[in-house]
Structure 1
């Protein structure tokens, strides 16, 4: 029986390298280890539910705005007639035809729609930051929600409504929006929510 020569040495696992300690060959200390970022703390159930309610508030606000613009468009002739009877227009001091007035009317509707979309997007952005635990966003949303409730009080008594079906529908949406906003505010200020926004450990 013959053996192979030279014999192949058995494979050896390389020794594990330990991180260098002390100064490096150039006389400079090694940089400290980079701390790993801590994972985001999950939002409590109350905060998540409040965010969902505020999204509903945003959707109801868009519905209310669209209905209000539809009501205004339906009364276009009345607005145009009132503007055409303006003394400056009638006297010729401001040269405007009825076609110009109608064009300005539609431009105003379009600008209003863009502003509503921008404000709604800003509101949803605040909701996002609130859900991430930003206390300033919670404060802003609380102020906005309380303002909605104050504006809704006259609607409960029918003040400012002409009694039309669209006006009644707008009032109903506004009341529902205020009720949902109140629920969101209550959830944002409960015990677990306060601990979350104050960066305290969960109870």
Structure 2
């Protein structure tokens, strides 16, 4: 009988499933954060335009009108939104790969989770802007950080370690 070349599917342990679900929550909150951050950038469009004009004025060979600077600042905001969506798509792929037992995905998600926690720390001290949108942005970031800590812990528990170690052995065989 011929082998189809496919590996038999292993059932992920409970901790890996929990980590996967936490990552889905993190990504859902991240998708909810995108419009909030884009709206914050739109609210600060005048400041962004002024900064861009200042930087262009420092360059002797460049000239830019205020209208052009505003247009480029708007394009940058749109590009940031697209980049956020692409990043969340890549993280979704990594979450599914982690659930399937791929060690590289666990490493990537652990690193991203640590970054989420580090970037959420300033929100604890509320030293930024005031208003509803900054509050919502900070709250979403804090919840993402808490979920990330839970996901990291779940991905590195003993049962999870055995699951990922089993995948490493299968890759080297």
TM interval, shorter chain, is: 0.7 to 0.9
For residues 105 and 50 of structure 2, what CA distance do their matches in structure 1 show? 44
Q: For each residue in 1:91-139, what CA deviation from the matched residue of structure 2 results, as whole angstroms up to 9, or x when unmatched?
A: 9853322221121111111111111111111111111110000111111
For residues 43 and 100 of structure 1, what CA distance do their matches in structure 2 show? 53
| One of 129, 133, 137 as aligned partner of 1:162 | 129
Is there any run of 5+ residues in structure 1 with no aligned partner, and where? Answer: 1-32
| One of 46, 59, 64 as aligned partner of 2:33 | 64
Larger radius of gyration: 1
Q: For each residue in 1:65-112, what CA deviation from the matched residue of structure 2 results, as whole angstroms up to 9, or x when unmatched?
A: 32121011012223324444x275499853322221121111111111
| One of 138, 162, 170 as aligned partner of 1:195 | 162
Bigger proportion of residues as helix: 2
| One of 14, 21, 26 as aligned partner of 1:52 | 21
Is there any run of 5+ residues in structure 2 with no aligned partner, and where? Answer: 168-173
Q: Paired residue for 2:153?
A: 186
The alpha-carbon distance between structure 1 residues 191 and 88, as it changes in their structure 2 partners (threshold 3 A), is: closer
In terms of mean alpha carbon deviation, does 124-133 or 189-198 score higher?
Answer: 189-198
Query: Which gives a bigger RCO, structure 1 or 2 (Cα 8 Å, sep 6+)?
Result: 2
For residues 95 and 35 of structure 2, what CA distance do their matches in structure 1 show? 22
Pairs aligned (count): 166
Q: Paired residue for 2:170?
A: none
Q: Paired residue for 1:177?
A: 144
RMSD over aligned Cα, in angstroms? 2.2
